[in-house]
Structure 1
Amino acid sequence: MVSSEVDGPPGRARSEGDERPKATLQGVMRALRVLELLAERPMRATDAAEALQMSWATLHRTLSQLESAEFITRDNAGVFRMGRRTWLLGSTYLVGHPLLELAIPLFREAAEDTPSGVYQLAERSGNLVVTLYARDAMSGETITRTTYGHHFPMHCGSKGLVLLANLPPAEIDEYLAGPLARLTPETDTDPASIRPKLDVIRQQGYSRTVGDVQSFTGSLSAPVHNSVGEVVACVCLVMARTEFDGGPAEAAALQSVQRVARTISLGTGWQPMHWATYDNGRPS
């Protein structure tokens, strides 16, 4: 007997054919989940099945389809990673990106004032901080290696903490309730310790961390706002740990980061005085 419970127009019974679009959509979502997981780090099928809580048969079918279409690739050790077609799709995100168009010339100028650091423009993607663009102030070149495959959890590094601090409270609670990875011995993974740091970051308008992503570096980050006052990205400056001594050079570096972030924000249409009484784009 065909059920009369339907998703379509009233009075239309659901037929077997109606299930096909839903099944196809579920298959697409499974494929996207696999791609997102492999974007975080390459892994074997067994590890992916465990991480996704997906049956081996379903995962094997999804991996096979993605591999045959060259969206993922597998090495001789059985480790899956992103394929050339995924890179083609993802790289087009940067083409004409409005924040990048604003940031690139500003990074070039800032690099002259801070010749020992690496400037980065970063956004949030899920629970990760994604570096869209990086420029080595010393060489004057874009550092391609830091623009992909080097993404970090939001509780690690100044750029992650800036983005985490400006999320809605419920999203902060959800993030801190999950497992927090430790990248170095100095990575703070205690929610009770992280929460007050987020309050300070929101109040002072920047973040500073040392040794929590790499033991030999530190970083300074300031938020980038959009036209309605929301924090949509951040500007980060990574320098050697020895540069973080609280002296004039560090103070000048912080001013540079804040100036670049503010200029990008103004370029999006942000009006700081208009949003002064708002909290992350919402009335406080």
Structure 2
Amino acid sequence: MAPRRNKVASDEKNYPATPLKGVNRALHVLEYIAIRPGRAIDIAEAMDLSWATLHRTLQQLEQGGFLKRDPETNQYRIGPRMWFIGATYVANHRVLEIARPYVEAAVKTKGITVQLVEKSGRQSVVLLSSHSDEEITKAAYGYHFPLHTGSKGLVLLAFSGEDFINEYLGSGLEALTPRTQTDPDELRKTLEEIRERQYAITIADVQLHTASMAAPVFDRNSNVVACICFVARKSAMENVERRDQLLEKLLETAQSTSIALGWRPELAAKMRAG
């Protein structure tokens, strides 16, 4: 599905009305292209930048290896220098290091893909993806999805700050499939339910043939730092017995990862009780 050509948003708010300058502008351009590779003319229109200003920024980023331009399509994409920076981030990621053995243990369950996912701005980003006996989804490391799509995004959105949630839900939401929730009022109810039960299940809202479930990963201060996500075929999630089996394994994996990060469930329960 082609993305809508509306103004995109940065981490916590829409792009400022004042002109973007220097490093700030370059970072916003990189962020936009990471989500939506495209031609210069389309990027300039979406970001409300003049052609001359954007062209100069793109040239500098391309010369530095941060962007690459496809000579056949003229589309700009993230370049090798950004890959190096991203790889360094992952190599030094404490949550990823601690979660890896739990993800690898969970993937022994047949018929699922297990992912470790974190929130980055308005996106859920896959840090680690491991397949079992079959490839359910091609979403590997670095794949990103809007926060209102998929169980992983909904979990991460549900445990975000209230101001961020209000801004996000008020910014206009794109449907990836006919089953993607886009109504802000309905989404608020869904997020409340997720916070209460501490997991989410979605069916066919990202791809029509898949479904997923996700549960939050907490740190020692009971902050949600990531989530564990199981992706399976739609038919598996529609089978109640199979879904319950997967949910039990999911919650066990997320809780084990959280405890390894220093989370204390008994203390968290006391805090929720007031």
TM range (shorter): 0.7 to 0.9
CA positional deviation for 1:26: 3.6
- 2-structure distance, mates of 1:246, 1:229: 32
Q: Determine the structure 1 residue equivalent to 2:56.
A: 61
- 2-structure distance, mates of 1:91, 1:143: 25
Q: Determine the structure 1 residue equivalent to 2:203.
A: 210
Deviates more, 1:151-160 or 1:243-252: 243-252
- 1-structure distance, mates of 2:24, 2:178: 36
Q: Determine the structure 1 residue equivalent to 2:15.
A: none
| Larger Cα-atom Rg | 1
1:42 to 30, 37, 47: 37
Q: Determine the structure 2 residue equivalent to 1:31.
A: 26
Give, as a single letter, the amino acid of the residue that structure 2 aligns with 1:186.
R
Aligned residue runs from structure 1 range 183-202, under 5 A: 183-202=176-195
Please say if 1:98 is aligned against 2:94. yes
Q: Determine the structure 2 residue equivalent to 1:74.
A: 69
1:267 to 256, 260, 263: 260
CA positional deviation for 1:228: 0.6
- 2-structure distance, mates of 1:227, 1:36: 30
Q: Determine the structure 1 residue equivalent to 2:222.
A: 229
1:227 is paired with a residue of what secondary structure? coil
Q: Determine the structure 2 residue equivalent to 1:18.
A: none
Q: Determine the structure 2 residue equivalent to 1:119.
A: 114
**Are the equivalent residues in 1 in contact too, given 2:227–2:254 (CA < 8 A)?**
yes
- 1-structure distance, mates of 2:129, 2:110: 14
1:232 is paired with a residue of what secondary structure? strand
Go from structure 1 to structure 2 and tell me whether the alpha carbon gap of 1:145 and 1:92 turns closer, same or farther (over 3 Å shift).
Answer: farther
- 2-structure distance, mates of 1:149, 1:98: 17
TM-align CA RMSD: 2.0
2:177 is paired with a residue of what secondary structure? coil
**Are the equivalent residues in 1 in contact too, given 2:113–2:137 (CA < 8 A)?**
no
- 2-structure distance, mates of 1:102, 1:143: 24
Runs of 4+ that moved beyond 6 A: none
Give 5+ residue unaligned stretches, structure 2. Answer: 1-19
- 2-structure distance, mates of 1:33, 1:247: 44
2:202 is paired with a residue of what secondary structure? strand
CA positional deviation for 1:41: 1.9
CA positional deviation for 1:29: 1.2
Aligned residue runs from structure 1 range 13-32, under 5 A: 26-32=21-27
Q: Deviations over 1:64-113 (max 9, x none)?
A: 0011111101112210001111111111111031111122211221122x
- 1-structure distance, mates of 2:244, 2:28: 42
2:172 to 179, 187, 206: 179
Give, as a single letter, the amino acid of the residue that structure 2 aligns with 1:91.
A
Give, as a single letter, the amino acid of the residue that structure 2 aligns with 1:132.
L
Q: Deviations over 1:116-162 (max 9, x none)?
A: 000000000000000000000115xx999523453110100000000
Higher relative contact order structure (alpha carbons within 8 Å, sequence separation ≥ 6): 2
- 1-structure distance, mates of 2:189, 2:99: 30
- 2-structure distance, mates of 1:42, 1:26: 21
Q: Determine the structure 2 residue equivalent to 1:131.
A: 126
Q: Normalising by the residue count of structure 2, what TM-score does the alignment of the two structures yield?
A: 0.88
Q: Determine the structure 1 residue equivalent to 2:236.
A: 243
- 1-structure distance, mates of 2:180, 2:137: 25
Give 5+ residue unaligned stretches, structure 1. Answer: 1-24
Q: Determine the structure 2 residue equivalent to 1:85.
A: 81
- 2-structure distance, mates of 1:57, 1:148: 34
**Are the equivalent residues in 2 in contact too, given 1:40–1:149 (CA < 8 A)?**
no
**Are the equivalent residues in 1 in contact too, given 2:129–2:141 (CA < 8 A)?**
no
1:275 is paired with a residue of what secondary structure? helix
Aligned length: 254
